[in-house]
Structure 1
Amino acid sequence: MKTLIEKISTINDMILQGNSLEAFEAFYHDDVVIQENDNPECIGKEINRKRKQDFFAAITEFRCAKPLNLAVGEQTTMVEWHFDYTHKELGVKNFTQVAVQNWKDGKIIKEKLYYES
């Protein structure tokens, strides 16, 4: 059985290799809730999968993704990321984001993303 540090490190490696959607499929719970800042929560793997697919399909230039910091607690992980890309709807994005993940049954059940909007 993998520890949380091993699981979140695997997710981070998959993201860096361009396999974000595969990481989502492998490590996110069917009942996952994802929230960006104080926006409404998106509930369930299906709706979150579609959001991720649409987001990645709209990236026109990808320059950088880099994990800066990682913290692991009891059933919680946090990763600070730096991203730099161009999105056809959002334009040029160069920012830092903190992702806080809560785990249940070995998968991410809740994720909240914090970034300057």
Structure 2
Amino acid sequence: MSYLDKITDIYDHIAQGTALDAFEEYYAEDVVMVLEDGTEVEGKDTNRKRENEFFDSVEAFHGIEVTSITSNEEEATTAVESAMDVTFKGGDRVILEQVAVQHWDGDEIARERFYATQ
């Protein structure tokens, strides 16, 4: 399976509401996620908690649009531009636009960085 196939599968999971299943399958135990503000979050357990907190804060998921997706198979790098439509609990409906860049080590994401587009 190519890296493009893998990242496409991850975003298909997000669209289907099974993002955490993709997280378990594709992220390394020692993954480092770099948030939009530059904060580095290390380890799968810590990132799983952060992901769960995000999804717990969502009242309704209205969908995700992937506007661009690409891969560099030789460098084991993928990138995705997307817009997620969510309503937060007790809050407003918002479109969260971001670019995410993934660096793979074999079949797992070792490092992912998020860039907010707004």
Relative to the length of structure 2, the TM-score reads 0.90
Give the AA of the match of 2:81.
E
CA–CA separation in structure 2 for the residues paired with 1:115 and 1:28 = 21
Give the AA of the match of 1:104.
D
Give the AA of the match of 2:39.
P
Task: Tell me which residue corresponds to 2:96.
Answer: 95
Indicate whether 1:54 and 2:53 are aligned.
Answer: yes
Deviation of 1:50 (Å):
0.5
Give the AA of the match of 2:33.
I
CA–CA separation in structure 2 for the residues paired with 1:35 and 1:43 = 9
SS of the equivalent of 1:82 reads strand
SS of the equivalent of 2:87 reads strand
CA–CA separation in structure 2 for the residues paired with 1:11 and 1:83 = 14
Task: Tell me which residue corresponds to 2:25.
Answer: 26
Give the AA of the match of 1:72.
S
Task: Tell me which residue corresponds to 2:41.
Answer: 42
CA–CA separation in structure 1 for the residues paired with 2:117 and 2:91 = 13
Deviation of 1:116 (Å):
4.3
Q: Alpha carbons of 1:30 and 1:100: their partners in 2 closer, same or farther (altered >3 Å)?
A: same
Deviation of 1:89 (Å):
7.2
Q: Alpha carbons of 1:44 and 1:18: their partners in 2 closer, same or farther (altered >3 Å)?
A: same
Quick check: 1:32–1:108 contact (8 Å CA) kept in 2? Answer: yes
Quick check: 1:58–1:89 contact (8 Å CA) kept in 2? Answer: no
Quick check: 1:62–1:86 contact (8 Å CA) kept in 2? Answer: yes
Alignment coverage as a number of residue pairs: 116
* Identical columns (%): 37
Deviation of 1:79 (Å):
0.5
For residues 43-72 of structure 1, the C-alpha deviation after alignment (integer angstroms, 9 at most, x for no partner) is 000000011111101101222211110010
CA–CA separation in structure 1 for the residues paired with 2:33 and 2:66 = 19
Task: Tell me which residue corresponds to 1:77.
Answer: 78
Quick check: 2:99–2:117 contact (8 Å CA) kept in 1? Answer: no
